[in-house]
Amino acid sequence: MQFPEIQAEDFTKITIDRLPHHEIEAALIHIGGNGVPGSKYKTDVLKAAGWKYERLTTYAAHPDVAAVAFNRVRQALAETENQEELMALLSEKQSA
pLDDT (tens place) for every residue of the chain, 96 residues total: 899 999 999 999 999 989 999 999 999 999 999 999 999 999 999 999 999 998 889 999 999 999 999 999 999 999 999 999 999 999 876 655
Burial of 75 (0-12, 13-18, 19+ CB in 10 A): middle
- In this structure, is residue 37 part of a structural domain? yes
The count of structural domains within the chain is 1
- In this structure, is residue 40 part of a structural domain? yes
- In this structure, is residue 48 part of a structural domain? yes
- In this structure, is residue 30 part of a structural domain? yes
- In this structure, is residue 1 part of a structural domain? no
Enclosing domain of residue 15: 8-95
Name the residue type at position 3.
F
Residues 55, 8, 51, 15: is their CA dihedral positive or negative?
Answer: positive
pTM of the model: 0.91
Q: Can you list the positions of beta strands (E) in 1-96?
A: none
Predicted confidence at residue 55, as pLDDT, reads: 82
Compute how many other C-beta atoms are within 10 angstroms of the C-beta atom of residue 31.
Answer: 19
